[in-house]
Amino acid sequence: MGLYRDEGVVLRTQKLGEADRIVTLLTHRHGRIRAVAKGVRRITSRFGARLEPFSHVDVQLAEGRSLDVVTQAETLAPYAGSFVADYARYTSGTAMLETADRLTAEEKQPAVQQYLLLVGGLRTLAGGVRDPGLVLDAFLLRSLAVAGYAPSFDLCARCGLPGLHRFFAIAAGGAVCADCRPAGSASPAADTLALLGALLTGDWAAAERADLRHRREGSGLVAAYLQWHLERGLRSLPLVERA
Ligand SMILES: [Zn+2]
């Protein structure tokens, strides 16, 4: 059996048998991995506490027939500690882990950009300087972009007309001009679309000037946009598996 080493973030864990856990990691070079961590639920486990959600770890794994096995784990950054006492950061962080899990559909397919976004997002969240809601929305927008679903905020998503448009249509791919807008388009404030554009491009100075009303409206649009793409992913996946 081959051994390999990588860095990764623990996305989630599930119980396996009496004392083991299956740990899902998003790694730097091997993409998303599910691996067995043996004996981690015992008090005497050598690395049980290092393999909790949010942990950024250096791991050694042994290739297995179905699941690989964690043989070593060293903590690089224990982000969980800075999130559990702060509800806003904890919920933002949890949403980041879930999104990274869902947007890396294939196991062991390298997802370097997604990994770097997640590590950067958790680090910023743990730093405590930026608003957790803005950190989350910036992460979600960039993750969607990396996954190939970049929303448009400055050009009409249909005809490419530049400008700050008044309408937003999820199915069309973002902001749309008055001529292109489909029925049922949202009509957010121009400042809200400018905020989302700033978060997507990493312009924190502009993003942090946005007031609470536009941050809230922006979060609603990001959540709806993400949900729409994840549901589409889920709907198409069972069809592929059965074909
Ligand atoms: Zn248009």
Ligand 1 centroid to residue 149 C-alpha, Å: 18
Q: Please report which confidence band the pLDDT of residue 219 belongs to, taking 50, 70 and 90 as the band edges.
A: very high
Ligand 1 centroid to residue 156 C-alpha, Å: 5
> How does the average pLDDT of the chain come out, rounded?
91
Which two structure tokens, joined as six digits, stand for 172? 């069309």
Ligand 1 centroid to residue 167 C-alpha, Å: 10
pTM value > 0.85: yes
Ligand 1 centroid to residue 146 C-alpha, Å: 24
Ligand 1 centroid to residue 162 C-alpha, Å: 9
The pLDDT of residue 235: 56
Distance of CA 141 to the CA centre of its chain: 9
Ligand 1 centroid to residue 159 C-alpha, Å: 4
Write down how long the chain is: 243
CA-CA-CA-CA dihedral for 90, 96, 100, 101, to nearest 10: 40
Ligand 1 centroid to residue 228 C-alpha, Å: 21
Distance, CA of 179 to CA of 166 (rounded, Å): 11
Ligand 1 centroid to residue 205 C-alpha, Å: 29
Over the stretch 129-166, which tens digit does the pLDDT of each residue have? 999 999 999 999 999 999 989 999 989 999 999 988 99
Tell me the Cα Rg of the chain: 20
Ligand 1 centroid to residue 181 C-alpha, Å: 7
87-103 and 112-127 helices cross at what angle (nearest 10)? 180
Over the stretch 37-91, which tens digit does the pLDDT of each residue have? 998 888 777 777 789 999 999 999 999 988 999 999 999 988 888 888 888 899 9
Ligand 1 centroid to residue 119 C-alpha, Å: 36
Ligand 1 centroid to residue 197 C-alpha, Å: 17
pLDDT at 241 over 50: no
Q: Could you tell me which of 4, 84, 1 has the C-alpha nearest to residue 49?
A: 84
Dihedrals phi, psi of 37, to nearest 5 degrees: -110, 110
Which two structure tokens, joined as six digits, stand for 204? 């924190």
